[in-house]
Amino acid sequence: MKQFWFAACLVTGSLLTPSIASADPTSEALLQGMGKASQSLNYEMGFINITKQGIDSFRYRHAVSDQSSLAQLVLMDGPRREIVQRGKDISYFETGLQPFTLDGDHIVDSLPSIVFSDFSLLSKYYDFIAVGRARAADRLSQVIRVVSRDGTRFSYVIWVDEQTKLPMRVDLLDRDGETLEQFRVISFYDGQQVVDVLADLEKASLPPVLSLPASEQVKFGWQVKWLPAGVAEVASSRRNLPNMPVTIESRLYTDGLFSFSVNISATTNGPSEQLIRQGRRTVQTEVRNGNEITVVGELPPSTAKRIADSIVFSAK
């Protein structure tokens, strides 16, 4: 059954490649409206996430009460996993694990990150291409492609409901147009009843906010000389592996849509070069001058290798 669903999704995604690509300000406004609607409306949606590893089903509820967001995400199959939001607090509950709370503006787990992106910033490096109208979740939608202008990153196809501006379907495509992941709404309703269902969250006792250690300013003896347009460093760290005399230096990068890290450590006994790709995630490893270079994140393999090849080390 899983194989049938995924094959169907690949075929459907391939039909949405437009013959002419061009920037569209109207599409940008629609995408901005999607982000606003996702954070301001009262709604419930059942959806599935389809990857090459299988299909997972979820229920997501969102409401606004006293100008504060309330939300709940529940995994519908297997051991119960629940994530709830009350204002800026995102709390995680999972069978067999101690519950905890993190600061955040929205639940990001299992929901397409592009829904919460700042499209005014992305418009500098991505084209928003109107494909046409189509039905998704039995609702009429506007279909838009989001494509990086330099061709170094993945792309998206998004079905935006014409009435509510909420996303009804989101496909993540690789550079060859193959569907890597799909978010697909299968049931939906909106209205005041969602506020009533989530009302108990306002009084619920949530686990304490997890305090994260303060980040330290670190200086490395290496630099990344090439990055895709719009990518910037957002964090860096130096840490030791547990129970191993190995120090890893890391830099985290993002363009506001996709993220990846560059990690440097002393050479181990591993292969001189290795590539692992699983869905949206690529791990590119190579050894040079006694250093093991690993690029990990949401990148096509060719982009990850180009980043790894561009790293230069300071003379010791």
Banded pLDDT at 19 (limits 50, 70, 90): very low
Q: 58 with 93, same domain?
A: yes
Q: How far is Cα 222 from Cα 202, in angstroms, rounded to an integer?
A: 48
Cβ pair 179, 173 in contact under 8 A: yes
Q: 276 with 179, same domain?
A: no
Work out the mean pLDDT of the chain and round it to a whole number.
88
Q: 154 with 267, same domain?
A: no
In a domain, 213, yes or no: no
- Percent of the chain, pLDDT > 90? 74
In 3D, which of 151, 147, 142 has the Cα closest to residue 128?
147
Q: Given this model, what pLDDT does residue 215 score?
A: 59
**Which residues on neighbouring strands pair with residue 224, listed in sequence order?**
311
**Residue span of the structural domain in which 254 resides:** 222-313
Q: 18 with 161, same domain?
A: yes
pLDDT at 13 over 50: no
In a domain, 101, yes or no: yes
Q: 134 with 253, same domain?
A: no
Token pair for residue 79?
């051991």
Q: For the whole model, what pTM was predicted?
A: 0.87
Ranges 14-18, 35-39, 69-73, 299-303: which has the least confidence:
14-18
pLDDT digits (tens, 9 = 90+) for 140-169: 999 999 999 999 999 999 999 999 999 999
Looking at residue 109, which CATH number applies to its domain? Answer: 2.50.20.10
Q: What is the average per-residue pLDDT within 209-213?
A: 77
Q: How far is Cα 94 from Cα 110, in angstroms, rounded to an integer?
A: 15
Looking at residue 275, which CATH number applies to its domain? Answer: 3.30.200.100
Q: 129 with 195, same domain?
A: yes
In a domain, 98, yes or no: yes
Q: How many domains does the chain have?
A: 2
pLDDT digits (tens, 9 = 90+) for 212-247: 666 567 789 999 999 999 999 999 998 887 766 788
Q: Given this model, what pLDDT does residue 271 score?
A: 63
